[in-house]
Amino acid sequence: MARGRKTRGRAAAPPPEDHDSSDDNDAADAPPPPAATAAAEVEHQPPEEGQNNANDESMEDGMEEESMEMAEEETRSRNNGRSDSNQRTPAAAAAAANNDEEEGEDDSVLKILLSTDNHLGYNERDAIRGRDSFAAFEEVLSLARHHKADMVLLSGDLFHDNKPSRKTLHTTMEILRRYCMGGESVGFQIVSDQKECLRSIVSGRANYEDEFYSVDLPIFTIHGNHDDPTRDGGESLLSAVDLLSVSNLVNYFGRQDEVDHIKVSPVLLQKGETKVALYGMGSMRDERLNRMWQSKKVKFLRPDQNQTGDDDDQDLYGESNWFNIFTLHQNRDLGRGSKNCVHESMIPEWMDLVVWGHEHECLINASESLVGTFRITQPGSSVATSLTAGESRRKHVGLLEIKGQQFRLKPIPLSSVGSFAVGDVSLGEKAREQGGVLDVEDPKVEERMSEVLVGEVEALV
């Protein structure tokens, strides 16, 4: 696994003693195996009456022998760290210890499936491509189920239109109910004040904690520029994502309602000994956000003991034991001008991983930031919405695995997305290659152009 952030001269701190992993506590308090109990009972069992006196001496010798063997066996078991009565070689004991250690590590590995820019409802009236966005989104959730992800993180633009059609809303809600509802338990918990970080209008907490619902694949999402909150004939700002949130189908976070300052409060997640601080910032106008960032009106709240009640939030060097993830939906600094994007230098350097939405080109592998203290992954859109070179790249989602301060990001290709090829054609050069020139006054110039373009398309395909 890769380190979340660079540290200098930092030794590994011991893991916190108190945590909420019920599996570890159950294993520690579990009674000894039945075989050891049976052996102890046999050792102290009195002789049966009516035995042959002639065999008393031999029986006593046999029992003495058996007791000594059992005592030696019990001693060997204690030395191997096991209470069973079966003798094990040192190699077998070491293998068993390694297996137990791996099982303990799995209890603290938080799995998050990363996806963004699903654009549900894109081109829905097209007879051929009308269901592409829904098929891709269904594959995303199917992969989350297949890889046993603890949760799904969406980085904006879940819907393509600000006011999705009834057909789009109906299909989306049907897919979410089919893949996110179930009877399995959720492996992590939220340890922060949910009213401060989640926009849950009804219950005030995450959807999987609502006793009237049975959600076993939680989805956490921010809004994008396509489904941002707007006033629809009233005072309240509502997004299409709010409709899914009030239905307890998704967990909506990262929304900023203040106009003069921005306060980003994290969703604090904990699974075993792994602690993750999830920061989200929904889409807003790039010029406004850039101006507020330059004016130092953007504030990120960091977890502390007052929020979590945990004395182990910092290690021996005073550094936070939280793995910090920041997801946003804005332009990247890719030649758009200094005021029309978010620069990597604006992001707090103590972040560990940034999940960047809005950019449709798939750059799923985590790359080092220009600042050098955190890494960036750009999942890209799950469906192509324009014929550009960036959209022609193979679409992926990412399976993020976090263990303590380390993480691993596995790219997973999407197979339901239609691919296309992009190429540049110079009609003048192609005509000269064929021994002629394109004359605009030639009555057959359109036919000649069509022949050249057909040949180029066939070559691309």
Name the token pair of 128.
């051929």
Q: How far apart are CA 355 and CA 50, in angstroms?
A: 79
240 pLDDT more than 60: yes
Output the DSSP codes for 249-303.
Answer: SSEEB-----SS-EEE--EEEEETTEEEEEEEE----HHHHHHHHHTT-EEEPPP
Worst-scoring range by mean pLDDT, 37-51, 91-105, 371-385? 37-51
Confidence of residue 438 (pLDDT cuts 50, 70, 90): low
Confidence of residue 49 (pLDDT cuts 50, 70, 90): very low
* Total number of residues shown for the chain: 461
- Strand, coil or helix: 349: coil
Q: Per-residue pLDDT for 93 more than 50?
A: no
Tell me the C-alpha to C-alpha distance, in Å, between residue 132 and each of 135, 153, 233: 5, 20, 32
Q: What percent of the chain has pLDDT over 90?
A: 50
Give the integer Cα–Cα distance in Å for 272 and 108: 4
pLDDT bucket at 235, cuts 50 / 70 / 90: confident
β-sheet bridge partners, residue 363: 378
Confidence class for position 390, pLDDT limits 50, 70, 90: confident
Average pLDDT rounded to a whole number, residues 246-263: 91
Tell me which DSSP letter residue 304 carries.
-
Which DSSP letter does residue 33 get? P
Q: Which residues contact 58 (CB under 8 A, 6 or more apart)?
A: none
Task: Please check the confidence at residue 77 and state whether its pLDDT lies above 90.
Answer: no
Q: Is the pLDDT of residue 185 over 90?
A: yes
Evaluate if residue 40 carries a pLDDT over 90.
Answer: no
CB 390 within 8 Å of CB 361: yes
pLDDT-derived band at 313 (thresholds 50, 70, 90) equals low
pLDDT tens-place string over residues 131-161: 999 999 999 999 999 999 999 999 999 999 9
Across the chain, what does the average pLDDT equal?
Answer: 78
Residue 22 has pLDDT above 50, yes or no: no
With 0-12 / 13-18 / 19 or more C-beta atoms within 10 angstroms meaning exposed / middle / buried, residue 318 is exposed
What are the residue numbers of the active site? 226
CA–CA dist 49, 235 (Å, integer): 91
Record the pTM: 0.73
Query: What is the Rg, in whole angstroms, of the alpha carbon atoms belonging to the chain?
Result: 31
Over range 282-303, report the average pLDDT.
92
CB 190 within 8 A of CB 228: no
Give the model's pLDDT for residue 184.
Answer: 94
Of the listed ranges 18-32, 138-152, 165-179, 187-201, the least confidently predicted one is 18-32
> 42 or 109: whose pLDDT is higher?
109
How much is the pLDDT for 170? 98
Question: What whole-number distance in Å separates Cα of residue 133 and Cα of residue 101?
Answer: 42
Instruction: Tell whether the torsion through CA atoms of 267, 271, 272 and 277 is positive or negative.
Output: negative
